[in-house]
Structure 1
Amino acid sequence: MLDKFIAIRRFAGIGSAFPRSAVMAFAACLAMAGAALGASSLVSPAVQAQGAGGSLRAHVGVASCAGSTCHGRSAADGAVVRQDELMRWQEESSPSGAHSRAWRVIQEPRGQAIIRRMGLDSAGIQRECAGCHVTPGSARPADGVDCEACHGASGGWLSTHYTVGASHARNVAQGMTDLTSPRTKAQVCLDCHFSGDAKGQFIAHRIMAAGHPRISFELDLCTTLQQHHDEDADYVRRKGGKTNSMRMWAVGQAEAVKRSLELFSQPARATDGIFPEFTFYDCHSCHRRIYDGEEGNVTAVPNPGRPVHLGMPPYNDENIIMLLAAARVVAPDAAAGFDARSKAFHRAMGANRAEAVAAAQALRQSADALSSRFASASFTREQTFAIMESIASDAIGERFTDYGGAVQSVMAVDTLLNGLVNQGMVPAGSAGNLRVQINQAYAAVRDPNGFQPFAFRRALGGAVRSIRSLR
């Protein structure tokens, strides 16, 4: 499963030893890809724009962007923007083209097998799949996830966003989604790359049981895969600076925690018949070998961050673990409170539904506060190195008892190192020399069915010790 998450950093300057097939596997993943909390709190700005109605929020389609003087050139030689954005969006051999293929994959063998297993007719496909595989409001499903899925319905700003006096601020004021805001971007991406509350955007366990890839989210990774622009001097001037990958990563972790807890707090999402909705739980807590004979061997490793009894399926806390590592460095005054609320939430899961929801909402409030602080934090060179150290520390590392959190930690170290390079804080050549160590950490989690927590911790610690030499 790991091939769906890694090996894309070559786009951003560090390089990778992983094969192109790994990149394409992730592209496939992308393409396939109480109750006091109201549904509106879960809807991203882009989806709100699609459903608001009226000409100002109208979806106008890909063709409106495809002029040769706009975004439809065959060469990236535009003075302000590349102007070949449509070609990148349609690129067959790259993850950057995954969104355009989103509807098509439903017609391909894997998509059709999932449909058969779920017993979906055409109405069922619209209900279960179209929410993520087609842009809301689009009259052309074949366009898949188009420009306006991320940038917002363009009825209010299409005709003016390139005119004299146009600015990013004005475009946003007229309805364009502000994707330079990490919190806004996270909400847009989470809808389909994690789960949303709009029709057809909740990725339930039964969908994955039918063959859909497991859902895992890392905002900066998705950003890198789908980037259709160059962050040159002109971009910096228009958008107020380059993307801070470290900030993007940290905010993404906080927003993922929030989204998960928001959905869990909804009664309709939390259960599937008489069963709990298993999509919220750690996959490997149940997907272990069964031993009935005398040779029985308990393979579960105690996790101090999950005060639950052996045999109870624990909540999937991969993003919670990452958020705690970041908080200990960037918001140390709030880290202890977040950690305590995280443990209280796990503990409440073994009590009853009411206590679990109350604890979830308390934890969500802590995550929201951290998201807000991260969104305005600078994420300096020293802080970024310290976060990597925090991820590999004994206090955090002992929580990597299951595959999901371990994968997140390797992606985090890779992302943070890559962010240091992009911000000019670490030479690209020096970072590239550490690829061997990072790849060893990746290799330790390459096979989800052969995951060994203690071997993984050693590999991750070795990678961070090597990165420490750059500090």
Structure 2
Amino acid sequence: MVLLALGAALALYPSPLKAEAASDDAVPRAHMGVATCAGSTCHGRSVASGTPIRQDELLRWQEESSPTGAHSRAWRVIGEPRGVAIARRLGLDSAGVVRECAGCHASKGAAKLADGVDCEACHGNSGAGPSGGWLATHYTVGTSHARNVAQGMTDLTVPRVRAGVCLDCHLSGDGQGQFIAHRIMAAGHPRISFEMDLFSTLQQHHDEDADYVTRKGHKTNSMQMWAIGQAEAVSRGLSLYMQPAKANDGVFPEFTFYDCHSCHRRIYDSDEANVSAVPNPGRPIHAGMPPYNDENMILLLAAARVVAPAEATTFDARSKAFHRAMGVGRSEAVAAAQSLRQAAEALSTRFASTAFSRDQAFTVIDTIASDAISERFTDYEGSVQSVMALDTLLNGMVNAGMVTPGSAGNLRIQINQAYAAVRDPNGFQPIAFRRALGGAVRSIRSLR
């Protein structure tokens, strides 16, 4: 998953210091904890007055009134009424709560669960936590981002690396307590959803100023981050689906892979009953069959049709084949999932070398609202994903200087109307949503 370009980049920097020998994989790395980052000359200032970084990153990580502080509150919510009720429904004692929940609500190897998802959960050694290999030297004179990465710091500037870290919790992972099974959601856990660039923006503790570009080598390409996030989410979901241990829950399939609202609909049993399901051209399955949650597949197809039309045709065909195979048998579905995952990985690689021009960004937005794509927004999950995509792509164009902040701000009403159309999952109406989505896209198109 690490970019091959990283090796070339490392050659531009001095050889590692002798003190950095601890980067040897055979040497255990310690989880150092939040306190080691909290010095007033490091990340613990009360105001953003530091150089070359803000140095108030911990304050923002702990921000009570903002999504920016959500990671610091991750373990706390386990002890709040909703978390306690979920644990009770699952029959978990205190040890069970740690086993089932700490994989996502706390950092691996952390001594203090109360720190929640701390610095090392994301910036540690490939997301595994420890910073013992690089903490003591990452702020020294002459250090560099590339050197930090060589010592074990996770390179979150690489979209595929960042996606791998985020997806472990924001979709599901292989670690202890990271697979969000249907039984956990049935106990009251929120529905899992993932959009890498938007979520990254909500958690951002730094400014991407000129100094950031100097240190990291480039500014974040939000549109690329969004597209790769969609591809990696598809790949991760399919890789988990193919694992036999995660395929079933007793005699039933593991329903966490399916589209929640395809089953959780109102049931009418009368002479006036109306079928509430809307036909989906992307899912060639019979009525009554629970569909695989394809929210990321739909948006990935939209991006692929603009950036890689030939690969998009392959991906679309394999996506339909996968849905169809799920109605045949487990072995057929696994084979189709593997083929589809390979297509998603190929698109992720293609996006990693795509700059995403202004014209491409606008065309992706148009494609999301086109009949060929919007007709697939028949369920709540995919529709929410599409609104987040519009928001992300528009903000990405602002950050890249393709659209002025004032012009984008004038469209906030239309974007909010699209969000309003997916605010209530129980009141979701596909046709009404498509109208709201089309209105937002037409407004964005006017900037072109």
- Relative to the length of structure 2, the TM-score reads 0.92
The aligned residue for residue 9 of structure 2 is none
Matches within 5 A, 1:34-433: 55=27, 57-152=29-124, 153-433=130-410
- C-alpha root-mean-square deviation of aligned residues, in Å? 1.4
Partner letter of residue 98 of structure 2? Q
Alpha-carbon shift at residue 446 of structure 1 (Å): 1.4
Counterparts of 1:463 and 1:226 in 2: how far apart (Å)? Answer: 25
How far is 1:57 from its partner?
2.8
Partner of 2:316, secondary structure, is helix
Q: Match of 1:58, as an amino acid?
A: A
Query: 1:53 Cα shift?
Result: 7.3
Deviates more, 1:437-446 or 1:353-362: 437-446
Structure 1 unaligned residues grouped into runs of 5+: 1-39, 42-51
CA distance in 1, matches of 2:60, 2:406: 27
3-state SS in 2 of match to 1:339: helix
Counterpart amino acid of residue 339 in structure 1: D
In the aligned structure 1, how far is the partner of 2:376 from the partner of 2:67?
31
4+ runs of 1 displaced by more than 6 Å? none
Distance of 2:221 and 2:118 partners within structure 1? 25
Which range moved further: 345-354 or 221-230? 221-230
Q: Deviations over 1:239-269 (max 9, x none)?
A: 1121111011100000000000000000111
Gaps of 5+ in 2: 3-23, 125-129
Per the alignment, in what secondary structure is the counterpart of residue 128 of structure 1?
helix
Counterpart amino acid of residue 446 in structure 1 = R
1:431 and 1:329 map into 2 onto residues whose CA distance is 22
What letter corresponds to residue 381 of structure 2 in structure 1? G
- Distance across 2 between alignment mates of 1:411 and 1:102: 23
8 Å CA contact 1:57–1:175 kept in 2: the answer is no
1:336 maps to a residue whose letter is T
Residue identity in the other structure for 2:315: F
- Which has the larger displacement, 123-132 or 413-422? 123-132
For the 8 Å contact 1:250–1:326, the answer to whether it is kept is yes
For residue 13 of structure 1, what is the aligned residue in structure 2? Answer: none
- The amino acid of 1:310's aligned partner reads A
Could you say if the C-alpha distance between residues 255 and 249 of structure 1 is closer, same or farther in structure 2, counting changes exceeding 3 Å?
same
Cα distance, 1:55 vs. partner?
4.7
Supply the distance in 1 between the matched residues of 2:425 and 2:317 (Cα, whole angstroms): 29
Bigger relative contact order (CA 8 A; separation at least 6): 1
Q: Which amino acid aligns with 2:171?
A: F
Report the alpha carbon displacement of residue 451 of structure 1 after superposing the two structures with TM: 1.0
Is contact 1:55-1:155 (8 Å) kept? no
How big is the shift at 1:176? 0.3
Shift of residue 331, structure 1, vs aligned partner: 1.1
The Cα shift of 1:466 comes to 1.2
Secondary structure (helix, strand or coil) at the match of 2:97 reads helix
C-alpha separation in 2, matches of 1:226 and 1:106: 20
Q: CA deviation at 1:304?
A: 0.5
Identity percentage over the alignment?
A: 78
1:27-65 alpha-carbon deviations (Å, 9 max, x no partner): xxxxxxxxxxxxx99xxxxxxxxxx97655321111111
Amino acid at match of 2:317: A
Contact 1:76 1:83 in 2 (8 A): yes
The code of the aligned residue for 2:439 comes to: G
Query: Residues of 2 paired with 1:120 and 1:184: CA distance?
Result: 33
Cα separation, partners in 2 of 1:55 and 1:155, compared to 1, 3 Å: farther
1:19 match: none
Q: Distance in 1 between matches of 2:59 and 2:422?
A: 34
Letter of the aligned partner of 2:114 in structure 1?
Answer: A
Secondary structure, in 3 states, of the residue corresponding to 2:364?
helix
- Counterpart residue type for residue 55 of structure 2: Q
For residues 82 and 413 of structure 2, the distance between their equivalents in structure 1, rounded to whole angstroms, comes to 34
